[in-house]
Chain A
Amino acid sequence: MQEFDVMPGNKAVAHGARLARVEVIPSYPITPQTTIVEYLADFVANGELNAEYIHSEGEHSCMAMAVGASITGARTFTATSSHGLAYMHEVLIQATSYRTPIVMAVANRTVGWYWCLGPDYSDIMPELNLGWLVSFAESNQECLDMVLQLYRVCEDKRVLLPSMLNLDGFYLSYSQEKVYLPEQAEVDGWLPPYMAPYPIDPTVNKKWPAAFLPAPLHTTYRRLLEEVMEDTKKVINEVDRSYGETFGRSYGGLVEEYRTEGANLLLVAMGSMTTAARRAVDRLRSEGERIGLVKLRFMRPFPRAEFRRLAEQVDAIGVVDRMVLHGTGGGMVFTDVKAALYNADSKIPVMNFVTGLGGEDIPIDDLYAMGRKLAGAARAGKAERDVEYIEHPFQERDEAIHEETSSPIYPGSVGCAGCGSSIIIRHFLDVLGPDTIIVNPPSCSVINYPGVSKVPFVLANFAAGAAYETGIYRALKAKKKADRVYVAGYAGDGGTVDIGLQSLSATAERGEPVIWLCYDNEAYMNTGVQRSGSTPLFSATTSTPAGSVWKGKPTQRKNLVMIMAAHGVPYLATASLAYIQDLRRKIRKAAEITRAGEGLAFLHVQQPCATGWYFPPEKTVEVARLAVETGAWPVVEIDHGVVKVNVKPRELKPVSEYLRMQGRFSHLTDEQLTKLQEDVGRSWENWLRLEKEGRLPWYLA
């Protein structure tokens, strides 16, 4: 009897990866995938999984790490969603030609277009045709089972291709279901370790997957990849049968048929909507309609033969689609189903129901109504309309309190109680005034402030905040308005020191006169407290937990001030929300520097986060003040290379006074505490020395 537990889909995926004994796990947080890599971090931190866990600085690198690990011969797992998947795109292509059997979970979420957290297949749609296997899970159990199945399929020499396992964000990723956990020994017997046929290991091998292919061979090798995709169909069905024999669960391979016996109508569904579709089919059957359901488990390779066979049996097919292929006049699966049937003998109506976009629920009643329409089309021998959009009424609620305020930002927000970021941005906008354009890469502030802001809040892509600023500034310049409007970036530490650094660095180097304010809460707070390049040494986060093996983050944070100083920016400063007048003065100074066209002005403001640092919300300012008073957060500025320490406590308090207020440091050992105290002392002395020396030597006049 297998053990079971009740768990969300993301945990089932993580258990699948653990049981598969994955060897390398590159990670990067993004909703609604993040908890998959958090659970895996927990497994590794506590010695339940022996794997190399990599904290990447963005999804492009995350996938590059996965490809690198896989071509070197390691069983590799990662997970992503939405914009993260889109940002991987270039590397995903490379994964195919290098024949890397990576398994990646994609917790589906709408890709912006208009940003939204709800699931639809707009994220997977652009990645369908790259040579990856693309499968969809209906339940949390299927998530776990498919991670194991996919490794067996992908590592088969007849296949040797990467695969994506799609699970609907929220509906599966965060919803709890009963999941049976196979025994490790049983999995080990069924899924042997990965032996790469041609690892790029010069100690064992002289042949490696090529990066280049002569032009005349491209047609041939594309044809060969298509043949591999055809062969893969057999392997998928084989592996599913074998899994069923060993573990007692199988899913039908490429497709699962539900009540298709004697059916003359066929509904096509996929992912989590399938469960509701089963109930709709049951209801229609009980009313005498001969309707069946096909659950599309693999989009790639596409089960063409299965659809041709089923089309011979039925009078009409209705495809439920959670994404539109813009410009084709229909949905994602609809197009493929029609293409599969066109050269076949049967000419039956194929209808398309586009629904559930942005994560809208697809209720049983809607699916039932689709079945009824399908029955009508079958009787008439044609569909009234090819494509139907199932839309639900939307009532916008006006809850805003309309009262004039002097600040460009209205009171109240959806941020956490006691949010330090709110304190910072209110002063930021208050000083800059109404003629300001805020550029904001993904972070808590993207959720919190656009809804209460009188100024434009441009949501930038995560890796490109400062590039958005550049474009906006240059357009203002072209329109002779650069001296009237401030271009101000407002970003967290992830959007500044990790994924956003390349764009910020180039913007500083080009001397674009724009402001960048990094509110540094020292982790990825918006996705639930994962470590960033700005997370301090030993800090526990959800991706660097303190466990039996791990003891918090093992490495030092980046020295962001010195990184920016190395660019020679005309003005940069650190600030603390506990020292409001100092903060406001620095914002004013940054505004003056950019108005004068001197170049980028950079502000680095520490933002204690009650939610992620684990302290009571009323302590936000107190923690910020202690960071300054202990020397953990020096308040300094570098004005045209001249260093000044703005806040100098007569005597620094012991750093433990600051650390002990925060749950993220509650695991500290005496040795760790001593180390942190020494680091603070050294950093403080460095600042005093730099101030004494005056101008930083690499600032050229």
Chain B
Amino acid sequence: MEESEVKGLYLLDSSKYGGMYVANWRVLKPEIDEDACVSCRLCIGYCPEAAIKTGEDGKTVIDYRYCKGCGVCANECPRRAIEMVEDG
């Protein structure tokens, strides 16, 4: 229970919030073919979980902790640079 100065008031402390681990939802996982990827960033905008971002080296990377494996990125990639593979 959160500490509250008001007796009986249940508080939501957003500073304790963070990302949600959803990797265990996944059956298939997307893999980016770095050679085919042109960093157009479309997949970043379309990812429902905000699991895809631009890495420090400018390359597009997937943070698999947040990936449910929905496949939207692979379906939308104009270069077909993302493939859905068995998540072993």
Measured between beta carbons, the chain B residues less than 8 angstroms from A621 are: 46, 72, 75-76
Q: Which of A414, A419, A619 is the one whose CB lies under 8 Å from B20?
A: A414
Q: Mind listing 11 A-B residue pairs with CB under 8 Å?
A: A401-B65, A409-B50, A413-B20, A417-B25, A418-B68, A418-B71, A426-B50, A452-B19, A453-B14, A617-B71, A617-B72
Known: A418-B70, A618-B71, A619-B75. A399 touches B48 (CB 8 A): no
Measured between beta carbons, the chain A residues less than 8 angstroms from B65 are: 401, 411-412
The answer to whether A622 and B75 have CB atoms under 8 Å apart is yes
Name the prevailing secondary structure of the B interface residues: loop
Known: A411-B50, A417-B25, A621-B76. A401 touches B70 (CB 8 A): no
B83 within 8 A of A: no
A170 to B27 alpha-carbon distance, docked (Å): 29
The answer to whether B19 and A410 have CB atoms under 8 Å apart is yes
A531 to B84 alpha-carbon distance, docked (Å): 34
The answer to whether B74 and A618 have CB atoms under 8 Å apart is yes
A407 within 8 A of B: yes
A417 to B27 alpha-carbon distance, docked (Å): 11
B7 within 8 A of A: no
Measured between beta carbons, the chain B residues less than 8 angstroms from A577 are: 46
The answer to whether A410 and B20 have CB atoms under 8 Å apart is yes
Give the size category of B's interface with A.
20 to 34
Q: Which of B1, B14, B20, B68 is the one whose CB lies under 8 Å from A417?
A: B68
B51 within 8 A of A: yes
Contact with A along B1-42 (1 / 0, CB 8 A): 100000000101010111111100100000000000000000
Contact with B along A388-421 (1 / 0, CB 8 A): 0000001010111111010101111111011110
Residue ID in chain A nearest B50 by CB atoms = A411
The answer to whether B48 and A423 have CB atoms under 8 Å apart is yes
The answer to whether B72 and A114 have CB atoms under 8 Å apart is no
A47 within 8 A of B: no
A580 within 8 A of B: yes
Known: A407-B50, A412-B50, A454-B17. 17 other contacts (CB 8 A): A396-B1, A399-B21, A400-B16, A410-B17, A411-B20, A411-B63, A412-B22, A413-B20, A413-B49, A414-B20, A423-B47, A451-B17, A452-B19, A452-B20, A620-B48, A620-B72, A622-B76
Measured between beta carbons, the chain A residues less than 8 angstroms from B72 are: 418, 617-618, 620-621
The answer to whether B76 and A410 have CB atoms under 8 Å apart is no
B27 to chain A, nearest CB (A): 9
A621 to B21 alpha-carbon distance, docked (Å): 23
Looking at A412, A418, A422, A617, which has the most chain B CB atoms within 10 Å of its CB? A412
The 9 closest A-B pairs by CB, nearest first: A618-B71, A412-B20, A400-B18, A418-B70, A422-B48, A417-B70, A401-B19, A411-B50, A411-B66
Q: Which of A412, A415, A618 is the one whose CB lies under 8 Å from B51?
A: A412
Name the prevailing secondary structure of the A interface residues: loop
A309 to B21 alpha-carbon distance, docked (Å): 58
Residue ID in chain B nearest A398 by CB atoms = B16
Residue ID in chain B nearest A577 by CB atoms = B46
Known: A400-B17, A402-B18, A454-B17. A114 touches B75 (CB 8 A): no
The answer to whether B75 and A618 have CB atoms under 8 Å apart is yes
B40 to chain A, nearest CB (A): 12
Residue ID in chain B nearest A400 by CB atoms = B18
